[in-house]
Amino acid sequence: MTSLLDRAATLRGAPPLPPDDPFYIAPPDLETLAPGTVVRSRSVELALFGMVPQRIAAWQLLYRTCDLDGNAEVTVTTVLLPWGADPRESRPLVSFQCAIDAVAPQCFPSYALRRGAQTIGSIAPLELPIIAMALRQGWAVSVPDHEGLDGRFGAAREPGYRALDGIRAALSFGALGLSPSNQVALWGYSGGGLATAWAAELAAEYAPELDIVGAAAGSPVGDPAAAFVRLNGGWFAGFPAAFVAGLRRAYPELVPVLEDHFDTRFRALLGEAEQRSTFALLLRFARRDVARHLRGGIAELLAEPVLRRVLTDIEPGGKAPAAPLLVVQGVRDEVIAVADIDAHVQRYERAGATVRYLRIRNGSHLPLEFLVVPVVLDWLADRFAGRQAETGTETVTSVARSVRAVRKNLEFLQVVLTMVAGRSIGVADAPSASAAQSSPLVPEEREILRIS
């Protein structure tokens, strides 16, 4: 029997999910195409939570990329321009990696951002106002499906390949008016921050022709294995479930290990995890302890040689990004441990990366993504302007107390109201001042911290 949701979706003209949409089908000659080659394109209409049509110029590009083993595959990026923007005008490009944090196709940005999409429980629609703020600066934006069409959440390197090839595709797409010499920046938070870190690490080797001027990674997980253990059995146990579901797709050698250790009930739950949106996952798996489903304890599972190799592979920070980095992290973050991000930053610094690390005392995981938007916008504007990037670690009480931060957050609220009303998202009348001209951090809120 057709569910009420399915019937409602049919009535409002919901787009097909990626597995059912012919647009996503790879061509037979895919192997012969260069990475980033656009296979096909289409204009799309975006909507806030699938319901309120947005006046944002948007297209989708199916393009050639690769998996962690270098095998050719396709994925999609949604590319955007401010409403009424003249493609003949020069503008930088921001690749925004959404926090997909699930393996179900309804969470892919290319679906979840479209008009009519069933977006309940997906994160990408929550991030659309942040993307709109980037458009307000006059920038073009690329939003890749960085988990690929199989939803391989947690896999090493793949999100970076897909983001970088999405940039290549966007720069070659004529409707955006960009060119291969365009300045590019990377931005993402949480799972999107991890994808941003991978793209920053891989850029110099995988896509050396791109002019990537900076990467802003918010709460970029740092140590996925540690996060799995820490979140298990808590309110956010859905993330480890999605993590396992994605890893067994990316690393087939894990399948027999999981079958040997997990009972039938948990393997069935992993099947459910492959179908559920992010917040539905959190509800379904809240307070579920995987130890209840293990033949042996978690320590025994983590000691498996195959799993140990995979967990080593998926830890970011092994290579210094060539571009400057901004890393932001909440000290009291209830999802991502600040100690994991401290260690991630240390790995980058030891490798010789240029890193500005901002630790924020006040704020929980999801609200911080929105509170740091003014900081990230200013930092990216400075990179596009060619200003030298600061380095070092700093702990602040808040990023929302200065006059400038309040003003920018009010602007963000205005953008949200504009989107709710369905009015156009164009370029702001007055460009953002740079962080160097007016810092969003007031001096009395600052406390310099050196991590030993």
Active-site pick, 110, 122, 190, 402: 190
CA 60, CA 111: separation in Å to the nearest integer? 10
Q: 330 to each of 9, 230, 234, 333, how far by Cα in Å?
A: 38, 16, 19, 5
Examine the residue annotation and report whether 365 is marked as an active-site residue of this protein.
Answer: yes
Q: Indicate the pairing of strand 355-360 with strand 392-396.
A: parallel
CA 75, CA 110: separation in Å to the nearest integer? 10
Number of neighbours of residue 322 by Cβ within 10 angstroms = 16
Q: Which residues contact 77 (CB under 8 A, 6 or more apart)?
A: 60, 61, 63, 110, 142, 143, 144, 145, 166, 169, 170
Report the helix count and the strand count for the chain, using DSSP H and E: 16, 13
Active-site pick, 122, 277, 365, 378: 365
Examine the residue annotation and report whether 261 is marked as an active-site residue of this protein.
Answer: no
Number of neighbours of residue 377 by Cβ within 10 angstroms = 26
Torsion angle defined by CA atoms of residues 313, 25, 203 and 331, in that order, rounded to the nearest 10 degrees:
-60
- As to burial, measured by CB atoms within 10 angstroms (0-12 exposed, 13-18 middle, 19+ buried), residue 89 is exposed
Backbone torsion region of residue 370, taken as left when φ is above 0, otherwise alpha when ψ lies between -120 and 50, otherwise beta = alpha
Concatenated DSSP letters of 363-416: --HHHHHHHTHHHHHHHHHHHHTTPPPP-EEEEES-SS-SHHHHHHHHHHHHHH
Examine the residue annotation and report whether 181 is marked as an active-site residue of this protein.
Answer: no
Q: Are 167 and 31 in contact (CB under 8 A)?
A: no
CA 356, CA 324: separation in Å to the nearest integer? 8
- As to burial, measured by CB atoms within 10 angstroms (0-12 exposed, 13-18 middle, 19+ buried), residue 208 is exposed
For 378-389, b where at least 16 C-beta lie within 10 A, e where not — what string? Answer: bbbbbbbeeeeb
Active-site pick, 150, 165, 333, 378: 333
Identify the three-state secondary structure at position 72.
Answer: strand
Identify the three-state secondary structure at position 249.
Answer: helix
Catalytic positions: 190, 333, 365
